[in-house]
Each structure stands twice: as C-alpha cells, then as structure tokens.
Amino acid sequence: MLDREQVHKVAHLARLELTPAEEEQFTTQLGSILDYFEQLNELDTGDVPPTTRAIDVSNVVRVDALQPYPAREAILDGAPDRDGEFFKVPQIMGGE
Amino acid sequence: MASIRELHQQLVRKERSAVEIATEALARVQALEPKLHSFISVTADRAIAQAQQVDAKIAAGEAIGPLAGIPIGIKDNMCTTGIRTTCGSRILENFVPPYESTVTQRLFEAGALMVGKTNMDEFAMGSSTETSAYQVTANPWDLQRVPGGSSGGSAAAVAGGQCVVSLGSDTGGSIRQPAALCGVVGLKPTYGLVSRYGLVAYASSLDQIGPFARTVEDAAILLGAIAGYDPQDSTSLQVDVPDYAAALKPDFKPRGKLRIGVIQETFGEGLDATVEAAVTKAVEVLQELGAEIQVINCPQFRYGLPTYYIIAPSEASANLARYDGVKYGYRAADPDNLLDMYAKTRAKGFGAEVKRRIMIGTYVLSAGYYDAYYLKAQKVRTLIKQDFEHAFQKVDILVCPTSPTTAFKAGEKTDDPLSMYLSDLMTIPVNLAGLPALSLPCGFDDQGLPIGLQMIGNVLREDLLLSVAHAYEQATEWHKRSPSL
C-alpha cells in the first residue's frame, strides 16, 4: 500500500512540488491505480520474454557527422532566459 | 462539406479557387468555435497564404495533388515552424517550434491548407479532451457531451465540418475513441508507418499519427500523404506505401475469401446494450457482403488496460523530464535555486492528469518496483501480442466495438481516473501490439449519439483494413448523417 511519505518521495524524484492537498489526493488515487495493476499477477509470465517495442527494427544507425543548424537564434530565443549564446538558469547551490 | 475528391475536381475544373475554399472553411471555423472549441489556435493567414500558392499553381497550368487546397486541422502536439504548439499544456503555452514535423512538412508540400491547431488532452493524456489547459471541446452531436480524447479537437472539427480532414495521434485509442464518439472515421496506422519526427512524445513505443475523415476514402488519401519512411525517426519502417485510395473498390465483394473475427472478450460486462446491438448488426452486414465470420478469443485482451497504464506513464515520466524551464516553455518565477526552479516550473506548468501519470511512471520505475510493475507489464505485452498473432492465423480482420459507451457528459468522469481509463479498454491492446486499426460509424443510440465499429488489421495491412471499411461504409448510410449545429 502506498503512503503519503512515499508519494512525497516519488514527487521529489519526479521534480514535482506538490501541495499538501495534491499529496493527499494522489495517495488515494495512486493507491487504487496500483491495486488495479495487481490483476497482472494472475498471469504466469515466468518464461515470457518482455516486449520493448511493438514492431522490431534493429541496427538503425546514421553517420555521426556534424551539420550546420540554421535556426540557432530561434532556439536560443525560445528560452525563458538567455545570456548571449547561453541558456541562463538560477543559481545552482544554496538559496534554500 | 464536400469530400477531398469533390473539392479536387472543383479546383481542377476551376469552378472554385483554393482561396474560396479556405475562406469558406475559415468562416465555418469562426461560426462554430463559440459552440465547439475545437481549436487552440486558428491559423487563418497561413491557410490563405497556402491557398494562394495552390491557386498560382493551377493558374500556371501545373498539376496539383489530391490534398492541394484541402482544409485540414492539425492536433496541437505536432510541431509547426513559427506556429505555437502547446500540446494542450500551460508548460508549452508560448512554445513556437523552430522546426517542422515530418507529417506537416509532407502535407504543406502537398498543398494542404492548415486552418488551425486542434484542442487535445494535455500531452495526449486523457479520453475526453477535458484535461486540456485551455478549453473543453464539445461533441458536435450533443454540446453537453465530450468528443472523446485525446484528439477530441481533431475529431470534433471534422464532424462539425470545420475542416475536411485532420490529423490526430493515438497512443492508447486517442484517434479511434474520439472518432467513434464523434461519428467519423479515424485510423491508427501500424507502428512505424508514419513518422513521429516532430510529434511531442508521450509514450514513444506506442505513439502513432493518423487521419480523421468523414469517409474512408478521405482517410485513405490522407494516410497515403503522410505514410512512408523517414530517416529522422529511428522506428520508421522502410516499406513501400501502396496507393490506399486507388485500392478502394466500390464493388468490393470478398465472397468467402475474407475471414473476419469477432473478439468475444469485448462483449460482456460494461458494454452498452445499444453499442452491442449496433456492432452485432454491423457484423451481419459484413457477412452479407460475403465475409466469413468467426468468433475469436483473445484471453489476454482484458489485461491490456493495466499493462498500458504501467508502460505509458513509465515512458511519459522519462519523456516529460525535458520540461524543466531551461530551454523552452514556461519557467516559474522567483525560484530559490535550480532544483527549486524545476520543481516549481513543473508544479505550475503541468495539470493534474499529467502529474498523476508522471507520478505513476516514476513510482513503477523506481528502485525495488521495476520488476514487479514495468518488467511484468512488458511480459504481459508479449502475451497480448501473441493473442493477436494467433488470431491472425485464423482471420484477416478483427472487429469489436471501439468504445464500450457512446459519448459521456462533460465532468462525468473527471474525478475518477480509473473510470476514465476504462473508456480505452477496447483500443489499448492494439497499440501494445503495434497493429493498424480504424473506427468508423456503425449506428446511433436512442439519443442520437454515434457508435463506432473498430476494425483491426494485421501488421501493415492498412490496405485491406481500408477496403473492408469502405465496403461496409458503401453498404450503409451512417456516414451520410451530420450533426445539426
């Protein structure tokens, strides 16, 4: 069973700040969704290989070559904050 | 609104110009938006500019393809250069893609007129289009009801005649379920037939782009235009694309050569009696057309839903890690530090359903739970795939209801995620197996709401799927009804 502390921990792993009300709601909702998953244990899958993709294609490669990208400015312009040719972020350490 | 073929003939005979067609479609978009709310962005200038190019070609005596001058809606999770692409989310509210998705690139080259970007559940997570951060789209057959989802805007726009055809994406039923609820044709192609380059990723091993249309022929034409190998998508299949539309024969009579299987497990608890009756009648029509009908068992079918709700959120939790407020999209104001910026940006940028799925995915992938959930689900995915493989040894096409119910009322299921998830019960196993499937109208309930018939084909048998659907459509009148708006 899922408890509120676990929900809090998972939210941290997912980099999601939840309100106390959201934590409360997710504890109940995720709990019932996880219960719903339990029915898969009715199936014996001991010798069954996992499927990672629906239609298998393998050895898809391309030449690892640099190409000029024409829309560099457009990409930098899309950033919430920039400093010249850099993406700008708040301070990494401290500020707690 | 006319079909692609009719509009094409009018253009070629110079009875109407592409600008006239675009203007009429835009007027209809404008007139119906206050009721339907199908579009997040209307791209009138773009549609008119594209129409002028088509008219210039016609005036110069150049040949035009079938999609030239055809008004089309594009789900707002396909990147369009210079045109805002929100994915139905606040976190991408101001995102203007610097590149073009392969599907829209191909459509623009074919001369299609984009009238707008359609509303959708946030990041395609939902079955009613109610999780959109922007608006609730109405079902054109009953404005109090949902259009289905997640491609609800694309389905409603076609059903309401705001555009001739549209594109949606389907991860667990997001094309077929809204097609059923809105009474139009919707097709999810074989995984890998249509490039996902430029499609905002939800669950990459399941996502696939496909067409909405009012007729099977229009769906076939649109599929033909977007299908085919693309080196930009590493899961793209290197296969020849047949001329789907040309393969549709008006007098298609399989006469015993065609074997159709009815999936027994889809009939039973939870299935509306009117839906069951309409689908049963549709099977009789297929039999009268000459198909041999068999009852097929897919014992693992019902495990599709829990399997999907482990696999899709797992992939989503990884795919959506990129929304961190650094390179594009929304960033929360006044963070204490970098980590705080991530957590606050994602808290404010994502809606409840997206958070719920990120949480599920993060939990089932976390240390100690991986084998019990994710690995288990991948193994059950194999069993579900095997069910279909066994079925296609016996039959050529499988049929079942698309959705267990007709359109439900807005707000009815928003507080109960599990009951919302159940509306994708019949469509999800198909995505897990990567198969092509379509939904087309097969009746109406006593409240006048459309009912959808799902047809599932074997890998890359879109040609057969469309031929059988076309034969059924030509033998019935359902597609001739339209909602009174």
Query: What per-residue confidence (pLDDT) applies to A96?
Result: 57
**Share of residues in chain B with pLDDT > 70 (%):** 99
- The reply to whether A14 touches chain B by the CB within 8 Å rule is yes
Rounded to whole angstroms, how far apart are CA atoms B430 and B324?
A: 33
Query: What per-residue confidence (pLDDT) applies to B83?
Result: 97
Is the Cβ–Cβ distance between B470 and B216 less than 8 Å? yes
Rounded to whole angstroms, how far apart are CA atoms B392 and B359?
A: 37
The contacts of residue B450 (CB under 8 Å, 6+ apart) are: B141, B180, B181, B182, B183, B406, B407, B441, B443, B444, B478
Give the number of other CB atoms < 10 A from CB of residue A60.
11
Q: What is the pLDDT of residues B328-367, one digit of tens each?
A: 999 999 999 999 999 999 999 999 999 999 999 999 999 8
Q: What is the pLDDT of residues A34-48, one digit of tens each?
A: 999 999 999 999 999
Rounded to whole angstroms, how far apart are CA atoms B56 and B112?
A: 14
The residue of chain B nearest to residue A96, with distances taken between CA atoms, is B336
The contacts of residue B160 (CB under 8 Å, 6+ apart) are: B28, B32, B36, B38, B140, B483, B485
pTM > 0.90: yes
Q: Do B235 and A48 touch (CB under 8 A)?
A: no
The contacts of residue B148 (CB under 8 Å, 6+ apart) are: B127, B128, B129, B139, B155, B177, B178, B179, B180, B181, B182, B403, B407, B423
Q: Do B235 and A7 touch (CB under 8 A)?
A: no
Q: What is the pLDDT of residues B23-43, one digit of tens each?
A: 999 999 999 999 999 999 999
Catalytic residue IDs of B: 75, 150, 174
The percent of chain B in helix, strand and coil, each rounded to the nearest 5, is: 40, 15, 45
Tally the residues of chain B.
485
- How far does B53 lie from chain A, in Å, by closest CA? 25
Q: Is the pLDDT of residue B404 over 80?
A: yes
Q: Give me the amino acid identity at A43.
A: L
Give the number of other CB atoms < 10 A from CB of residue A40.
18
DSSP bridge partners of B113: B71
Give the number of other CB atoms < 10 A from CB of residue B333.
9
Q: Is the pLDDT of residue B268 over 90?
A: no
Query: What per-residue confidence (pLDDT) applies to A16?
Result: 98
Q: Which of B418, B225, B46 has its CA nearest to residue A39?
A: B418
The residue of chain A nearest to residue B363, with distances taken between CA atoms, is A10
Q: Which of B357, B358, B361, B315 has its CA nearest to residue B205?
A: B315
Mean of the per-residue pLDDT values of chain B: 96
- How far does B22 lie from chain A, in Å, by closest CA? 29
- How far does A16 lie from chain B, in Å, by closest CA? 4
Q: How confident is the model at residue A56 (pLDDT cuts 50, 70, 90)?
A: confident
Residues of B in contact with A11 (CB under 8 A): 359
Query: What per-residue confidence (pLDDT) applies to A2?
Result: 87
Q: Is the pLDDT of residue B138 over 80?
A: yes
Query: What per-residue confidence (pLDDT) applies to B249?
Result: 73
Query: What per-residue confidence (pLDDT) applies to B350?
Result: 98
Peptide bond into B467 cis (omega under 30): no
Q: Do A79 and B328 touch (CB under 8 A)?
A: yes
The residue of chain A nearest to residue B435, with distances taken between CA atoms, is A54
- The reply to whether A20 touches chain B by the CB within 8 Å rule is no
Instruction: Read off the pLDDT of each residue in B167-172 and give the average, rounded to a whole number.
Output: 98
End-to-end alpha-carbon separation of chain A, Å?
32
